[in-house]
């Protein structure tokens, strides 16, 4: 479901799904995010449960399915570096 421009990002790193889901915040509702994780992306940018500000895969199999929806085959690049942890640190510092 989308209501505006979508920017796809593939984040690669150790525990990438779990780590980024913590930054995104609770998935049940924006109200839960605002109460339980007030500095999360959903708490900061979500307006309601349909426009919750951000989406991220919940599992490796979900990622495999969604990767094919958002990216054409052969268009993603994997960087083996500390960029993912640096990115997460950057996002956390912005919140």
Kindly list the distances between the CA atom of residue 10 and the CA atoms of 36, 54, 69, in Å, as whole numbers in the listed order: 26, 13, 12
Q: Distance (Å, rounded) from C-alpha 18 to C-alpha 42? A: 15
Q: Which tokens sit at 51?
A: 């426009």
Instruction: Say which of 44, 55, 67, 88 is annotated catalytic.
Output: 55
Q: Which tokens sit at 58?
A: 């919940």
Q: Report angle CA 89, 75, 59 to the nearest 5 degrees.
A: 55
Cβ-based neighbour number of residue 41 at 10 Å: 20
| Active-site annotation holds for 55 | yes
Residues belonging to the active site: 55
């Amino acid at each position: 479901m989308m209501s505006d421009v979508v920017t796809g990002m593939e984040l690669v790193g150790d525990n990438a799904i779990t780590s980024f889901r913590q930054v995104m915040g609770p998935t049940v509702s924006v109200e839960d995010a605002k109460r339980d994780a007030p500095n999360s992306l959903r708490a900061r940018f979500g307006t309601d449960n349909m426009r919750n500000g951000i989406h991220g895969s919940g599992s490796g199999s979900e990622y495999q399915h969604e990767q094919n929806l958002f990216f054409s085959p052969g268009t993603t690049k994997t960087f083996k570096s500390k960029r993912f942890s640096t990115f997460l640190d950057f996002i956390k510092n912005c919140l």
